Chain A
Amino acid sequence: MEYHLETPVEEGVLRRLRVGDLVFLSGTIVTARDEAHRKALEIHERGGRLPLDLRGGGVYHCGPVMRRVGGEWRVVAAGPTTSARMEIFEDRFIEAFRPAMIIGKGGMGERTTRACERFGCVYGYLTGGAAVLAADGIRRVRAVYWLEELGMPECLWVFEVEDFGPMLITIDSHGDNLTEEVRKRVMEKKERILKALR
């Protein structure tokens, strides 16, 4: 199935999505990588507030190439980064900030899958490295936070997006995880190949 969704995405809509579905998202997405996840969780654990509300929005694992033209930031290239690095944070991040979609590439693990099931979130897989395609769905830069402290790839870029995608749902809110299933099959296959190796 193909879905065109708008942020904030309601949980009822989100729960309809299944592994293998395609999603195009319009509204607001925010980039966050390793450093931004760490910082956001530290702020949350101290009882502080983030500079913006992530509820129902998209969190994008992306360190874009940006360029300042006049007084305005423009996106040059903005494809997904490897999500697996954020696996150590993502379940707590989803619980704390309740985004509707985690967007990245490479897939994520069991902890994220459980958090998606429990709190109503999905993982949208963008084609890795396809930075120009991804940037095409970004209409403008709404804001940027923590640029000075974390630098261009790691800070929070707030993008206004229109039909951003296609994103393949590889983790849904029902406990299914496509890339994890493939990974398990690969490991079994590897054992068989190694056993037969001469």
Chain B
Amino acid sequence: MEQIVEDTAVELLRISATELPGDVLEGLRRARERTEGVLGRSQLENILRNVEIAGERSLPMCQDTGVISFFVRLGDGFPIRSRLREILVRATRRATEEVPLRPNAVDLFEGNTGDNVGRNGYVPHLYIDLVEGDKLELIAMPKGGGSSNVAALGMLKPGVGLRGVKAFVIEAVASAGSLGCPPYLVGVGVGGGEDICMYLAKRALLRPVGERNPDPRVAALEEELLEKVNELGIGVMGLGEGPTAYDLHIEVAARHPASLPVGVVISCWALRHAEAVISKDGEVTIRRVL
């Protein structure tokens, strides 16, 4: 069973580096259709052609194969528990060799570790959710440095209200400008605390493109902010043409009365992730959107 989980994780890392999820691809295709300017349109054509060739040759679509996170939903009856971390670390090392991935884990004192694994068990990062049932659901998500560098955290004063939240998100995307490879998917987390809102913002990136938050008030906020960040006119690759963002997702948590935390996590056009479900008997289903 350990081998099955390890092999599956290697496969997910390979898929996420070399193929885009169907909903992301569709979002980029729609972006191309509505881009009139020749500069923006040609950039989107380069992007889509690049993705196509990467898929055909099974090569990483971007040389920045990111820092790796795994989102795990671990069922009560699944036979592996605490060994999971070690298995996923092994899978990361193997994928770095086999795909190959660029070594992106740099130690504070020792330099690049060479295998995408860092000290103290933090990289690759595991987000673990304990759930009912006997399955293991595994999502591999590499995230590149360029778009991670333009993330923003705001510990706003509650007095600024919803208007302050909107202003913070618009400011964050405007500051990101061309630096994180637009068109973007913008993830926003509101509430919780300084760590929770950032986690929610990152998690929001995993929601399928085009799907709205089930709360109609949050959904309306998503629509409004998506329209506003596109009005900024950053455009594809920051060249001023075509969409700045192809979607914007918001997740909300309760907050402390004295705090209004807002997290903005931005993904480059290459929003990469891959998902699999493993049954307790070791049957593996790789989920592909569309």
Contacts and interface: CB of A to CB of B under 8 A. Distances in A.
Query: Is B one of A's binding partners?
Result: yes
Interface of A: 20, 62-65, 67, 76-79, 81-82, 84, 105-107, 125, 127-133, 135-136, 151-153, 166, 168, 170, 178-179, 181-183, 185-187, 189-190, 193-194, 197-198
Contacts of B64: 63, 79, 81, 129, 131
B50 interface: yes
Contact of A128 (B54, B102, B171, B237): B237
Across the A-B interface, the 7 shortest Cβ-Cβ residue pairs: A128-B181, A130-B50, A77-B63, A182-B240, A127-B46, A151-B112, A129-B62
Contacts, number: 157
B60 A76 contact: yes
A129 B47 contact: yes
B251 to A, nearest CB: 21
A64 B63 contact: yes
B188 interface: no
B166 interface: yes
26 contacts: A63-B64, A65-B60, A67-B100, A82-B149, A105-B178, A106-B146, A106-B181, A106-B238, A107-B178, A127-B46, A128-B268, A129-B144, A131-B63, A133-B49, A133-B53, A151-B111, A151-B112, A153-B112, A178-B239, A179-B178, A182-B235, A183-B177, A186-B174, A186-B234, A189-B232, A189-B233
Nearest to B39: A168
Contacts of B91: none
Contacts of B270: 129
Given A77-B59, A129-B61, A193-B170, A84 B179 contact: yes
A182 B174 CA distance: 11
A127 B43 contact: yes
Interface of B: 39, 42-43, 46-47, 49-50, 53-54, 57, 59-65, 100-104, 111-112, 114, 144, 146, 149, 163, 166-167, 170-171, 174, 177-181, 228, 231-235, 237-240, 268-270
A69 to B, nearest CB: 11
A76 B170 contact: no
Most chain B CB within 10 A, of A130, A133, A135, is at A130
B63 A63 contact: yes
B239 to A, nearest CB: 6
Of the listed residues A76, A107, A135, the one surrounded by the most CB atoms of chain B closer than 10 A to its CB is A76
Contact of B237 (A127, A152, A186): A127
Contacts of B101: 65
Given A127-B50, A128-B181, A190-B174, A182 B234 contact: yes
Nearest to A190: B174
Given A65-B60, A127-B46, A131-B63, A182 B231 contact: no
A186 B49 CA distance: 28
A151 B103 contact: yes
